[in-house]
Chain A
Amino acid sequence: MIDKEKTKEQLIDELAELRQLVAVLKAADVERRQAEEALREFLGKVERAKQEWETTADSLLELVCLVDDQGRIIRANRTVETWNLGQVKKVNGLEFHKLIHPDCASSSCPLEATWKQVWEDVRQGQSAQYEVYDQVLKRHIQVRIQPWRGAERGMTNGSTVVVVEDITKRKQAEEALREYSERLEEMVEERTEELREAQERLLRAERLAVIGQLGASVSHELRNPLGIIKNSTYYLGMKMNQTDEKVKKHLTIIENEIARSDKIISDLLSFAQDTKLALQMSHINTIVQDALSRTPLPDTVTVITKLGENLPPLMADPSQIEQVFINFITNAAQAMTSSHSGDKRGGGKLEISTRAENGFIVTEFKDNGCGIPAENLEKLFMPLFTTKIKGIGLGLVVSKRIIEAHQGSVAVESEVGKGTTFTVKLPSITWSLLRSMGERGEE
């Protein structure tokens, strides 16, 4: 009874032990749960880290692959899909060449050939890089192959990282730059040419300015001796009025030559100085008639005038416009009597006409002389250009300047062998001109 029946004390002790055991077990269970919780948390972090890293790789614009020691793809980023090379999950085990060129069997494919060239170096742990234009992708690509550092961390299944970058835009930019730099050379050449021309123009302008200044001072100085010769001739003319014809002839020759010298001097001076106009209300027809009466013309030249009736007046410096017209008439006469027009047995015909046209008075000088070749036509109003044996080539320049000072214009049309037409347009009187006349004070 004693063996089977435990004492009350014994039972109390056993119960205490059991209670202790339950407490231990409960504590162990808490610990386990805590451990499980920690593990779940850890696995969550690992998954998150993996996703983060994959997303990072997928965010790259480059195609990034991890390749094993046989050159087969282990892993690739999402760019495979954006470049339409297949699905990320299905590219495992493909060789790089097959990934890019799925249908290409040629071992001489440039992509494959280059890959093979660098592969041995890559196997030795060196990095490689090359650029090709890929026919399939239709893009310029740059392939960069880097040793994988997995081995350093005890991982052996991968050996190489391959990064493929689309460099089409860069290549295009480079190409554009190259073309531009080639074009640049052309442009530099063009600009140099322009610069040279500008310099020539400048030199020409400078030379003209110097000629102008020199011409002006020489002209002024010549006016005194020329004036004295003119006076002497005048005196001799007075005294020898009754002597023989030859003396008279020679006096006339001297007078004409003085007049010619004076004309050259005046042209030079007009060229060197700013044109100053003494404007007054004038009639174009009077100016034409005055100019004609003052221009000596050879007998072989016939002048026909067709002067418009009731033409409005114009504001002009009549003596300067007269000079311009004398110049045109003289040029026409020379064009009609020069050797080039020698076949015109009937002699020259100069037609001078005036008319009103849109606020302008138009005066035309139309001759049937030798004409002006097209290449000379544009140079006609350039200083020092002349086709005449005599003359320094300032007459037309000065004429143009005087016409333009009147707010007018001059144009020329010509055909070799048929003749030349000079057309002068001068503004006729207008309201505003009249008003400004009334408002203007002392000069």
Chain B
Amino acid sequence: MNDKAEILIVDDEMGMRETLSDILEDMGYHAVIAVDGHQAVQKAKENTFDIIFMDVRMPGMDGVDAFKEIKKIHPEAAVVLMTAYARDDRIREAQREGVYSVLDKPVDVKMMISFVEDVKVGDHILVVDDDPDTHAIFKDLLKARGCKVSIVRTGEEAIRTVREHQYDMIFIAMELSIMDGLETYLAIKKINPEVVVVMMSAHPRAASDLVIEALMQDAYTCLYKPFNVGEIIRLVDGIRRKKLQSSE
């Protein structure tokens, strides 16, 4: 850590604020605390934070409203909601409006730290697709989360770039010109057997044999277009959670 990550912790419970900020401070980050939504918005006006961990249920302004206010000030802010309650409509609304992630309490501290690291460093994601809609979605979604997104349009380009760079996740469309998604996947797998690969398809029926083949060859899963924003976040978080667990 050459420059300390700036973290804002928002929770109405003193114990939660203190424990989280002590952990993060001890790990070398700089943690600021706020006791409710209003104070969080105030602090966000005064400082720029790399990541904000925000409780949802708080007296006065709740976490979802505070998140929306902060988004107005810093559209790029990464806000992680923390909740002890069910994922209700308020939280789904926040997810649609670009909340970074939602963590259930008791929070997984390792997951928190991985978020902090990612905001600073970011996963490196490769998207292989010639569909401009896909490009737009991934750029918006993942750049806001601090990931680095590289986009290529053909399988051949993908194979070239995989030889030269290390990626954390690769999304490959089934429908590619010249070399199809499955061929591309199998070639990439030979170069880097460890990388997590998610297949994408706009034609579940036409591509089903290829998709099943890819899954049998250990592709992580297959996403169907049109994409669901929440689905991609969940997927990326799920992959991260698994990596954390397997590294324990």
State the A residues within 8 Å of B (CB). Answer: 220-221, 223-232, 234-235, 238-239, 258, 262, 269, 273, 276, 278, 280-283, 290, 293-294, 310-313, 318-319, 429, 431, 434-435, 437-438, 440-443
List the A side residues contacting B2 at CB < 8 Å: none
Would you call B245 and A224 a contact (CB within 8 A)? no
Would you call B208 and A431 a contact (CB within 8 A)? yes
List the B side residues contacting A294 at CB < 8 Å: 245
Bound state CA distance, A19 and B85, in angstroms? 141
Interface residues of B in 191-248 (CB under 8 A from A): 201-205, 208, 211-212, 215-216, 218, 221-222, 224-226, 228-231, 234-235, 238, 242, 245-246
Would you call B19 and A231 a contact (CB within 8 A)? yes
Residue in B13, B202, B216 whose beta carbon sits within 8 Å of that of A438 in the complex: B202
Would you call A228 and B16 a contact (CB within 8 A)? yes
Asked, given contacts A228-B16, A443-B230, whether A431 binds B246 with beta carbons under 8 Å apart, the answer is: no
Would you call B204 and A435 a contact (CB within 8 A)? yes
Nearest-CB residue, chain B, relative to A232: B19
Would you call A223 and B238 a contact (CB within 8 A)? no
Would you call B26 and A238 a contact (CB within 8 A)? yes
Bound state CA distance, A262 and B23, in angstroms? 21
Would you call A231 and B84 a contact (CB within 8 A)? no
Residue in B23, B86, B203, B224 whose beta carbon sits within 8 Å of that of A234 in the complex: B23
Interface bits B80-94 vs A (CB < 8 Å: 1, else 0): 000011110000000
List the A side residues contacting B107 at CB < 8 Å: 227, 230-231
Asked, given contacts A228-B15, A231-B109, A235-B22, whether A443 binds B228 with beta carbons under 8 Å apart, the answer is: yes
Bound state CA distance, A318 and B245, in angstroms? 15
Bound state CA distance, A233 and B4, in angstroms? 24
List the A side residues contacting B228 at CB < 8 Å: 442-443
Residue in B20, B87, B204 whose beta carbon sits within 8 Å of that of A434 in the complex: B204
Bound state CA distance, A294 and B87, in angstroms? 25
List the A side residues contacting B215 at CB < 8 Å: 281, 283, 313
Those 8 A-B pairs whose CB atoms lie nearest each other, nearest first: A231-B19, A227-B106, A223-B84, A438-B204, A228-B15, A434-B204, A313-B215, A227-B105
- 25 A-B residue pairings within 8 Å (CB atoms): A223-B104, A223-B105, A224-B13, A227-B84, A228-B13, A231-B109, A232-B15, A235-B26, A238-B26, A238-B27, A269-B86, A278-B231, A280-B221, A281-B211, A310-B216, A313-B212, A313-B216, A431-B205, A431-B208, A434-B211, A437-B224, A438-B205, A438-B224, A442-B226, A443-B228
B172, chain A: closest CB distance, angstroms: 14
List the B side residues contacting A230 at CB < 8 Å: 106-107, 109
Number of contact residues on B: which range applies?
A: 35 or more
Would you call B221 and A226 a contact (CB within 8 A)? no
State the B residues within 8 Å of A (CB). Answer: 13, 15-16, 19-20, 22-23, 26-27, 84-87, 104-107, 109, 201-205, 208, 211-212, 215-216, 218, 221-222, 224-226, 228-231, 234-235, 238, 242, 245-246
List the A side residues contacting B221 at CB < 8 Å: 280-282
B222, chain A: closest CB distance, angstroms: 5
Bound state CA distance, A44 and B27, in angstroms? 134
Bound state CA distance, A294 and B203, in angstroms? 36
List the A side residues contacting B245 at CB < 8 Å: 290, 293-294
List the A side residues contacting B26 at CB < 8 Å: 235, 238-239
Q: A283-B215, A310-B216 are in contact. List 15 more A-B contacts (CB 8 A).
A: A223-B84, A224-B16, A226-B106, A229-B106, A230-B106, A235-B22, A273-B86, A278-B231, A293-B246, A318-B238, A437-B224, A438-B203, A441-B226, A442-B228, A443-B228
Nearest-CB residue, chain B, relative to A436: B204
Max chain B Cβ within 10 angstroms of own Cβ: one of A238, A276, A313: A313
Bound state CA distance, A372 and B245, in angstroms? 34
Bound state CA distance, A123 and B108, in angstroms? 109
List the B side residues contacting A228 at CB < 8 Å: 13, 15-16, 19
A228, chain B: closest CB distance, angstroms: 4
Would you call A231 and B20 a contact (CB within 8 A)? yes
List the A side residues contacting B106 at CB < 8 Å: 223, 226-227, 229-231, 258, 262
List the B side residues contacting A239 at CB < 8 Å: 26
List the A side residues contacting B27 at CB < 8 Å: 238
Bound state CA distance, A276 and B89, in angstroms? 14
List the A side residues contacting B87 at CB < 8 Å: 276
Bound state CA distance, A172 and B230, in angstroms? 75
B40, chain A: closest CB distance, angstroms: 18
List the B side residues contacting A262 at CB < 8 Å: 106
Nearest-CB residue, chain A, relative to B16: A228
Residue in B16, B205, B211, B222 whose beta carbon sits within 8 Å of that of A227 in the complex: B16
B22, chain A: closest CB distance, angstroms: 5
Would you call B246 and A278 a contact (CB within 8 A)? no
Nearest-CB residue, chain A, relative to B86: A273
Would you call A434 and B205 a contact (CB within 8 A)? yes
Would you call A238 and B216 a contact (CB within 8 A)? no
Bound state CA distance, A391 and B27, in angstroms? 37
Bound state CA distance, A278 and B237, in angstroms? 13
Max chain B Cβ within 10 angstroms of own Cβ: one of A281, A311, A442: A281
Would you call A434 and B19 a contact (CB within 8 A)? no
Bound state CA distance, A105 and B84, in angstroms? 100
List the A side residues contacting B211 at CB < 8 Å: 281, 434
List the A side residues contacting B104 at CB < 8 Å: 223
List the B side residues contacting A226 at CB < 8 Å: 105-106
